[in-house]
């Protein structure tokens, strides 16, 4: 499939969430403001902020090219800030959805521990559309690591 656009990331995460029993309440396209994905399951709300791996805007100079490392830093920073705002508001769970590639993983790796501690999920989307969810491990005394 090649480069993942933001819409491609959103589509993949929506399929993943539906399979997990979530109802999709709203979805923004790359050109719209608002939450990228708002989902509901029973009494739980989940807000997902998604970022793509390259420019999907055909009028831009970088159309069809992967984002640079500095662009990835900005995108990941914005996604995480939006997720923090959701968590601070307290009405919903938060997640970020990102392309599963080395540059995005490298950026998230530096802040993974606090994201997990705050319960912010990470959805890693492969170019084939598969999604890998990284979640805070459920707290149990049986996990054997003494925490």
> What are residue 27's DSSP bridge partners?
37
Residue 46 CA to residue 91 CA, distance in Å, equals 9
Cβ distance 23 to 39 under 8 Å? Answer: yes
Question: How do 44-50 and 93-99 pair as beta strands?
Answer: parallel
Cβ distance 85 to 60 under 8 Å? Answer: no
Query: Considering the entire predicted model, what is its pTM?
Result: 0.86
pLDDT of 50: 95
Cβ distance 16 to 5 under 8 Å? Answer: no
For residue 143, the Cα-to-chain-centroid distance in whole angstroms is: 26
pLDDT at residue 58 is higher than 80:
no
Task: Convert the pLDDT of each residue in 39-55 to its tens digit.
Answer: 999 999 999 999 998 76
pLDDT at residue 85 is higher than 50:
yes
Residue 120 CA to residue 102 CA, distance in Å, equals 20
Mean pLDDT for the stretch of residues 119-143: 83
Least confident of 6-10, 103-107, 140-144: 140-144
Q: Map out the domains of the chain with their CATH numbers.
A: 6-136 (3.40.1350)
Task: Convert the pLDDT of each residue in 89-98 to its tens digit.
Answer: 998 999 999 9
Concatenate the DSSP letters of all residues of 112-126 into one string. HHHHHHTT-EEEEE-
């Amino acid at each position: 499939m090649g480069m993942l656009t933001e819409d491609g990331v959103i589509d993949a995460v929506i399929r993943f969430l539906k399979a997990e029993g979530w109802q999709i309440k709203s979805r923004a396209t790359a050109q719209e403001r608002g939450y990228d994905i708002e989902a509901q399951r029973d009494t739980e709300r989940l807000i997902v902020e998604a970022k793509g791996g390259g420019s999907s805007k055909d009028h831009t100079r970088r159309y069809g090219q992967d984002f640079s490392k500095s662009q990835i830093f900005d995108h990941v920073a914005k996604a995480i800030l939006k997720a923090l705002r959701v968590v601070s508001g307290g009405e919903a769970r938060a997640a970020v959805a990102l392309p599963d590639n080395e540059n995005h993983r490298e950026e998230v790796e530096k802040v993974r521990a606090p994201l997990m501690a705050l319960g912010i999920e990470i959805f890693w989307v492969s170019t084939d559309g598969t999604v890998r969810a990284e979640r805070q491990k459920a707290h149990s005394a049986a996990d054997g690591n003494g925490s």
